[in-house]
């Protein structure tokens, strides 16, 4: 059983930065991928990026070059560094864990992750113009 807890959300002006944290228990570095997702008001959940167990990352085109996923193995904590934030980045951000084997099959499809992954409770990010 993997348990996840996000933190670090808040309000920021456009162009600013935030770093979200995801503390994971029961997470295995050599087995699980971590995905970051977001859901804006009235929108479907969308994938932001993933960090696989081999250290490789993937990002949605909408955040590529602005967002970076990393992890601190000693602290069992994963991070989403968000730079050059835009108002359209406003959403609740979630981290989720799933096996890397499955993550590579389903990519950033939020629906599939919703069915198979462990999820945190989310943290709100608001970007004002």
pLDDT in tens, 58-104: 999 999 999 999 999 888 899 999 999 999 999 999 999 999 999 99
Rounded CA gap, 66 and 7, in Å? 19
Are 90 and 127 spatial neighbours (Cβ–Cβ below 8 Å)? yes
pLDDT tops 90 at residue 51: yes
Nearest to 89 by CA among 6, 23, 4, 15: 15
The arrangement of strands across the sheet holding 77-82 comes to: 3-7, 18-25, 77-82, 67-72
CA 69 to chain centre: 8
Task: Summarize pLDDT for 106-119 with one digit per residue, the tens.
Answer: 999 988 999 999 99
CB atoms within 10 A of CB 9: 17
Task: Round the average pLDDT of the chain to a whole number and report it.
Answer: 95
């Amino acid at each position: 059983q993997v348990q996840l807890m996000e933190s670090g959300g808040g309000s920021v002006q456009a162009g600013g930065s935030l770093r979200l944290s995801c503390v994971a228990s029961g997470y295995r570095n050599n087995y699980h991928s971590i995905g970051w997702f977001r859901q804006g008001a009235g929108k479907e959940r969308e994938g932001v990026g993933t960090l696989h167990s081999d250290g490789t990352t993937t990002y949605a085109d909408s955040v590529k070059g602005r967002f970076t996923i990393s992890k601190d193995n000693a602290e069992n904590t994963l991070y989403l560094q968000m730079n050059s934030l835009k108002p359209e980045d406003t959403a609740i951000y979630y981290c989720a864990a799933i096996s890397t084997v499955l993550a590579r099959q389903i990519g950033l499809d939020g629906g599939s992750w919703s069915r198979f992954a462990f999820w945190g409770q989310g943290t709100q990010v608001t970007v004002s113009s």
